[in-house]
Structure 1
Amino acid sequence: MATHWRLILNGKSAGNDEVRDAVEAMRAGGVTLDVRVTWERGDALRYVDEAIDDGVRCVIAAGGDGTLGEVAAALSERHEEADALPALAAMPLGTANDFATAATIPTYPREALQLIADSKAHAIDMLRVEADGERHWCVNLASGGFGTEVTVETDDGLKKLLGGLAYLVTGIARMGRIEPITAHIHGEGFDWRGALIALGIGNGRQAGGGQILCPDARIDDGLLDLTVIPELEGELGTTVATLMREGRGAALERVGERGRMRAVTVESDEPMALNLDGEPVQASRFAIACVPARLRMHLPEHCPLLAPARLALR
């Protein structure tokens, strides 16, 4: 069967010469590689449907975490089983690239495409999120609190100027005005009520430009990882928030409430925002379930997000 891939490219990267060179190199190597450029919300869904109709074997999300999330969600929403859908792959072109960083996916376009040719597609889980009656999907992390506010408030111009450092600068600016969120979070063997400053529900491990919220998460274990950082006061609160910004997962061991389960519900009296793969969704109730082996994805050998038992089968 001929190798046929479809690259869905975020419009912000449409003029990227490295992407063009990478595509031409793969075509020269015998891969049929079509490119579609997104312009507005809904384009990724339309392009995924088109790719399936065309019999494409791999759909590549070329952009940041939001682009990857949008393409993964479009695939997950289909009625077909994972084996009947095109495999998913990522070409990291965003500011933070949180999923790609945790998964050790190459950041150079040619290397990212070569990974697809050199690797098998692994079964991966997806998070299905019901938010006040609306369904969403998440491939990386659902995060709330401090990290969500930083991601939402970081200026696009600042991201172009500073790259991932923009999230750190914005986080520092917010340090004096972290407002806790009161919530009830419950699932299998877990029941927590109180005020929190950060929440992570992971398939993946990090969000918000490098904040490691679920340091032990696996993307193929059929479970979601949960971390709650409760409201902290005084110097301890400042220190821990700084550690979180710098990606120090050890801080979570000291102050966080953690669990691993198949599903979790997050409820609050007032609407709160959860950031799903870089896209904020606001609701007063989130029902989040891990859907095992919903998709297949090309990932590096010895990818840290894969369970060791899965790696041993390669």
Structure 2
Amino acid sequence: MDRQKDLVDVNLTSIMEFVLLGFFDIPNLQMFLFVTFFFVYVITLMGNGIIIFITGTDNALQTPMYFFLSNFSFLEICYVSVTLPRMLVNLWTQKRHISLFACATQMSFVFTFGNIECLLLTVMAYDRYVAICNPLQYPLVMNHKVCVQLVAACWITSAPIEIGQTCQIFSLPFCRSNQINHFFCDIPPILKLACGDTFLSEMLLFTIAVVFIMIPFLLIPGSYSQITSTILKLPSARGKAKAFSTCSSHVMVVTLFFGTAVIAYLRPKSKHSSRMDKFLSLFYTLVTPMFNPLIHSLRNKDVLMALRKLVP
């Protein structure tokens, strides 16, 4: 009788919670990974926090470009905080269980913040386009009210869609293994555990990836082709260098984030592998947020000057 009760409990547990395997396949490096990811988290929080602070307090940085950069840095803090703390706990305790509700919540936030990042990077490209291609209209077109509305639209557009997608995925029956071969609740590895028809979920994932990743990814090069054409027509070499320097930081972040996101979610299903999925996910969830402040600081004289003011 007791054995039957234990089996019922095990089956109930397997339905009510998942196991995030993370980097279980390299057991000898668990502590090394913990220390590495801990420092990544601290650097990400400090770097993006400093960007938010200086863009909010330095009068020279009270422009639309730095308003968007500040919001982007805040988003990066939110994005990395959805996955890294739990991953650190899992590495430290080696207890990888996550409840069904916690898994769904994490998935919803990860993809909401990811979609917002795609849209915000597109808005930042549009801001550079207006500033360089239509400088006389820039103060009128990109006034503070418009900037706030654009940022708000990024958040409002993404959240309901991802909540709906998460509800649709977690309405599926999960009667196979409860082990997710990933370090966070990502959609592809979770769909592998569903025993129902996942065609609708896969099509929904692909459609949202096209709308939030592929379309913005195509719009940004379109903006920069116009920007490049305008810059090349400038008579001053110094003006060209300054314009290119202003845009280069954004281009680097776009390339790093979109490059890995496109490969992760728009490559054929047959090309998916757990190891590659985890590797790509590390780039757009951890590496980009960590390098964002560094990229914008080293290639921006205004930010460097504001940073120097913080050092007595």
If you compute each CA radius of gyration, which structure gives the higher value, 1 or 2?
Answer: 2
Q: Which has the higher contact order (CA 8 A, sep 6+)?
A: 2
Point out the structure with the larger strand share: 1
Point out the structure with the larger helix share: 2
- Bin of the TM-score, shorter chain as denominator length: under 0.3
Structure 2 length-normalised TM = 0.28
